[in-house]
């Protein structure tokens, strides 16, 4: 008996039979017939290691900005391998070195010591104020036989490493060297700054103790300081931080008014006999 043909299953109107999955589906089309490209999701896994520029700054090799410049120029070696791609991450224990060109560039960076007068702002100019860097001119250089003379290149990239209020005087450091800036004003800086402060008002033993340790500014506790009387109206402050107008505000909290403030030392470098309004280069044998 002849076999009867099988019937094909009926489909509802408008329904097509599923085709075997033998090729990739076409992406949906945009109006006009062009396919829409769907981007693959970005990986959420963070890249391992630490950015080279961050490591270099943490180790005091240079600032992060300088590190990026050295990397782009191919002056940086990691474990003996030259690296030139910005953003590269490496093991935190990697050995990082600079080639001769990078070392020479660092050695050419200048640091200047200025005896800032009252009336000059240490950083960005404010309306009606003159920045201290305008004093770095040949006429104001302290002349010594063993130091180089002023050249316009001395001003290139020169920036203050720390602030000194407009109504304060004393030692101000300006530098082209990111290593010096980090050493003096980095978050982990432990460099001491010494000030002579003339005050008006009375201060008992409890107030003096508070100046040494126990005060807060802007809801943050201050680091311990060393504060002592030098004479009837002058205090000596030694700080390891530099909040805005810190000494003046500290004195206000214990009932004193500052009538004169002079910074005489930063780390191991002293103002010494540098005349008011004059500047000199940091000497090769000087370190902060």
- In CATH, the architecture of 50-107 is Roll (3.10)
Q: What is the pLDDT of residue 129?
A: 86
pTM for the full predicted model: 0.71
Is the predicted pLDDT of residue 17 greater than 50, yes or no? no
**Binning pLDDT at 50, 70 and 90, where does residue 4 land?**
low
C-alpha closest to that of 256 among 170, 197, 209, 195: 197
Among all chains, which residue has been given the structure tokens 């006429």? 139
How does DSSP assign 70-89, residue by residue?
Answer: HHHHT-EEETTEEE--TT-E
- How far is it, in rounded angstroms, from Cα 28 to Cα 227? 75
Identify which of 48-52, 179-183, 265-269 has the greatest average pLDDT.
265-269
Handedness of CA 126, 109, 68, 53 (dihedral sign): negative
Superfamily the domain 111-281 falls into? Pseudouridine synthase (3.30.2350.10)
Question: Which tens digit of pLDDT belongs to each residue from 131-172?
Answer: 999 999 999 999 877 778 888 888 988 999 999 999 999 999
The residues, any chain, with a CB within 8 Å of residue 178's CB and separated by 6 or more, are 57, 62, 63, 64, 65, 66, 109
The mean pLDDT of 34-46, rounded to a whole number, is 42
Question: Which tens digit of pLDDT belongs to each residue from 22-33?
Answer: 455 555 554 444
Q: Hey, which residues are catalytic here?
A: 165
* Number of neighbouring beta carbons within 10 Å of residue 9: 6
- Count of H-run helices and E-run strands, the chain: 6, 18
Q: Which residue has the higher pLDDT, 58 or 190?
A: 190
Q: What is the pLDDT of residue 14?
A: 46
**Lookup: tokens for 236:** 């000596």
- How far is it, in rounded angstroms, from Cα 156 to Cα 108? 12
Q: What is the pLDDT of residue 45?
A: 42
Which contiguous run of DSSP H or E holds residue 57?
A: helix 52-58
Is the predicted pLDDT of residue 221 greater than 70, yes or no? yes
The CA-atom distances, in angstroms, between 284 and each of 153, 161, 189, 270 are 19, 18, 21, 15
Q: What is the pLDDT of residue 43?
A: 41
Length of the chain counted residue by residue: 288
- Residue ranges of domains in the chain: 50-107, 111-281
């Amino acid at each position: 008996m002849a076999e009867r043909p099988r019937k094909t299953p009926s489909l509802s109107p408008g329904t097509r039979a599923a085709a075997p999955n033998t090729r990739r589906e076409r992406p949906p089309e945009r109006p006009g017939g062009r396919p829409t490209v769907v981007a693959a999701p970005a990986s959420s896994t963070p890249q391992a290691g630490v950015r080279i520029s961050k490591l270099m700054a943490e180790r005091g090799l240079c600032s992060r900005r300088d590190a990026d410049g050295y990397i782009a120029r191919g002056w940086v070696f990691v474990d003996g391998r030259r690296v030139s791609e910005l953003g590269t991450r490496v093991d935190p224990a990697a050995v990082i070195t600079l080639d001769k060109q990078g070392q020479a560039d660092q050695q050419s960076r200048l640091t200047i010591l200025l005896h800032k007068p009252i009336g000059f702002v240490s950083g960005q100019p404010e309306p009606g104020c003159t920045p201290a860097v305008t004093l770095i001119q040949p006429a104001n250089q302290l002349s010594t036989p063993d130091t180089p003379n002023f050249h316009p290149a001395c001003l290139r990239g020169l920036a203050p490493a720390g602030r000194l209020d407009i109504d304060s005087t004393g030692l101000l450091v300006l530098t082209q060297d990111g290593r010096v800036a980090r050493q003096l004003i980095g978050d982990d800086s432990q460099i001491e700054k010494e000030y002579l402060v003339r005050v008006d008002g009375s201060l008992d033993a409890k107030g003096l103790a508070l100046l040494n340790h126990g005060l807060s500014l802007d809801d943050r506790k201050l680091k311990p300081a060393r504060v002592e009387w030098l004479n009837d109206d002058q205090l000596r402050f030694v700080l390891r931080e530099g909040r805005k107008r810190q000494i003046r505000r500290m004195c206000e909290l214990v009932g004193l008014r500052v009538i004169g403030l002079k910074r005489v030392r930063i780390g191991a470098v002293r103002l010494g006999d540098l005349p008011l309004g004059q500047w000199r280069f940091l000497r090769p044998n000087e370190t902060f």
